[in-house]
A and B are shown apart, each in its own frame.
Chain A
């Protein structure tokens, strides 16, 4: 790391210029050791930097994997619930099947946010602040419109409105990321 590097260089300069000359050989050895220490410190800094990037990449991949699993389970459950001759208790189990995966997805997201730096947390917050009020207004308006002109249940269902939330969240995320680029 650069602050350590500066510190070590400062010590090296002091030792080499102000120490007695008869100890020249040992001082050279000390100089070599200090050079090695500088190289190690620099490498440590590079490792720390790449660790941040790797953590972000790893979090993104885990979130994507959990999200895909959750949505796939939802799609399978949705398809199975269309089958007519299923027992009531089985139907309830199928309906609840995506829930553990959704909790897992949320857990990864929460841990990911906790490990982010402050700007990334702000971006996440701004994305939610963008999505939440639009969802509230959207649902409220749809509810009022349904009272005014009843929707055709074959082409419209509130079951499908949940997808509006992640879509708006990702739109908010994209918007916030662009803002701080």
Chain B
């Protein structure tokens, strides 16, 4: 699964630590999601979508 987390974060000028704080996860989790090493759980994906005020599928999507 791919995601636009890094782009969305950069648009807001947030660091990985900033995003991690808001989602109540570790910075390592954000890094692993951004690099595609880890797919977030559904609750975390929904929390992320709510934070960026975008639908989940606009942030996370399957590779073609």
Is this pair of chains taken from one and the same complex? yes
**Chain A contacts to B: CB under 8 angstroms:** 1-3, 6, 45-46, 48-49, 52, 56, 117-120, 122, 179-181
In the complex, are the beta carbons of A117 and B26 less than 8 A apart?
yes
The count of A-to-B residue pairs whose CB atoms sit within 8 angstroms is 51
User: Across the interface, which residues of B come within 8 angstroms of A48, CB to CB?
Assistant: 21, 24
Task: Report which residue of A118, A120, A122 has the largest number of chain B beta carbons within 10 angstroms of its beta carbon.
Answer: A118
**Chain B contacts to A: CB under 8 angstroms:** 12, 14, 17-18, 20-22, 24-26, 28-29, 31-32, 37-38, 40-41, 44, 51
In the complex, are the beta carbons of B25 and A2 less than 8 A apart?
no
Residue on B with the closest CB to A53?
Answer: B26
**SS of A interface (majority):** helix
User: Across the interface, which residues of B come within 8 angstroms of A52, CB to CB?
Assistant: 20-21, 24-26
Going nearest first, the 5 A-B pairs with the smallest beta carbon separation are A119-B29, A49-B21, A117-B25, A180-B32, A45-B21
How distant is the Cα of A179 from the Cα of B28 in the complex, in angstroms?
11
Residue on A with the closest CB to B19?
Answer: A2
In the complex, are the beta carbons of B18 and A45 less than 8 A apart?
yes
How distant is the Cα of A122 from the Cα of B29 in the complex, in angstroms?
11
Cβ-defined partner of A117 (8 Å) among B12, B29, B31: B29
In the complex, are the beta carbons of A119 and B21 less than 8 A apart?
no
Residue on A with the closest CB to B51?
Answer: A3
Known interface pairs A2-B12, A49-B17, A52-B26; A118-B40 also in contact (CB < 8 Å): yes
Residue on B with the closest CB to A49?
Answer: B21
Residue on B with the closest CB to A45?
Answer: B21
User: Across the interface, which residues of A come within 8 angstroms of B41, CB to CB?
Assistant: 118
Residue on A with the closest CB to B44?
Answer: A118
How distant is the Cα of A119 from the Cα of B29 in the complex, in angstroms?
6
Residue on A with the closest CB to B26?
Answer: A117
User: Across the interface, which residues of B come within 8 angstroms of A3, CB to CB?
Assistant: 22, 51
User: Across the interface, which residues of A come within 8 angstroms of B24, CB to CB?
Assistant: 48, 52, 117
CB distance from B19 to the nearest CB of A (A): 8
CB distance from A9 to the nearest CB of B (A): 12
CB distance from B30 to the nearest CB of A (A): 9
